Amino acid sequence: MTVGQVPFGKFIALLSDSGLRVRVGPFNIRINTKSVTLANHIYRLYESYKLAEDEFAEFHVQVIVVHPKRKIFSPHIRFFVDGHSPFPPFPQEQGLTALEWGINLVIAARVSHLLLFHSAAVERNGQVILFPAWPGSGKTTLCTALIYRGYRLFSDEFGLMDPDNGDFFPIPRLMPLKNESIQVIRDYLPEAILGHEIPKTLKGTIAHVRPPKESFMRSEETAKAKWIIFPKWVAGSSLSLEPLPDSEAFLLLASNSFNYEVLGEVGFQAVTHLIRTCSCYKLVYSDFDDVISAMNDLTD
């Protein structure tokens, strides 16, 4: 059963009372909020998330609206995980960003049995492409274009790898487009479903993309990576896809991991195996048609 199949009244009751339990990749997360505004956004954008009713939830998150006693202060919201708040307060209208960033933080800080790369990951023909990137390199925008053109979303944020066998776990979630990327995607993919624009966040204006249903339906199908591509969007550039030396890819990938050092030798061996079994490239692009065509050629 998915969130969209739950009647709205029951959905609101779950969120505000015992919590809405959803599957987020290999984890179950219980979400609790009494904010009706946030509930409306979640109902629309989480439509394809699978419910995890009666299952153990690894993370319990809450978004609470705080009404200050003194009227000169406006209401704000706070994000809590297992009863503790890792962030300062957010403006009330930023509930969805607080929830999504909060879940990111929880995954990044707490998952220690899997190797966690800061990377987008998509799948085609049974094999995964990783797009490790620094913030601002356009991986979420690229990922959005690809998943609306037939690629299956694993994640726009986390490459989640089992270090024992090299399997990657899908963890499809909302994807936060930032600033100019929002209009770029609206123009290129009029069919893409985006949430409302949230201005003045720490990263500027954010609008969340709802990934296609198929990514959620197949979220239990793991796959191995075959390509590691370091993308860079450069305005007006022609497409270039050049091999990257393995040693450089190793350093870039390992230093881009959230928990490489925590895993010690296991992390070293896992990254070594990953680089040895993947082809690594540097990608520079500006045009979505070009990059999708290049990715199709690579993955055919």
Binding site for another protein (CB under 8 A): 81-82, 84-88, 101-102, 104-106, 108-110, 132-137, 202-203, 230-232, 234, 245-247, 250-252, 254-262, 264-265, 268-269, 272, 275, 282, 284
Contacts 24+ apart (CB under 8 A), 288-292: 288/145, 288/188, 290/238, 290/239, 291/142, 291/145, 291/239, 292/145, 292/146, 292/149
152/208 with CB nearer another protein: 208
Q: How far apart are CA 67 and CA 28, in angstroms?
A: 30
Smallest separation (angstroms) from another protein to the CB of 274: 12
189/252 with CB nearer another protein: 252
Which residue in 56, 79, 62, 76 sits closest to 17, CA to CA?
62
Q: How far apart are CA 1 and CA 208, in angstroms?
A: 23
Smallest separation (angstroms) from another protein to the CB of 6: 28
79/216 with CB nearer another protein: 79
43/87 with CB nearer another protein: 87
Smallest separation (angstroms) from another protein to the CB of 289: 22
152/232 with CB nearer another protein: 232
Smallest separation (angstroms) from another protein to the CB of 224: 19
As given in the structure block, the two tokens for residue 59 are 């993370």
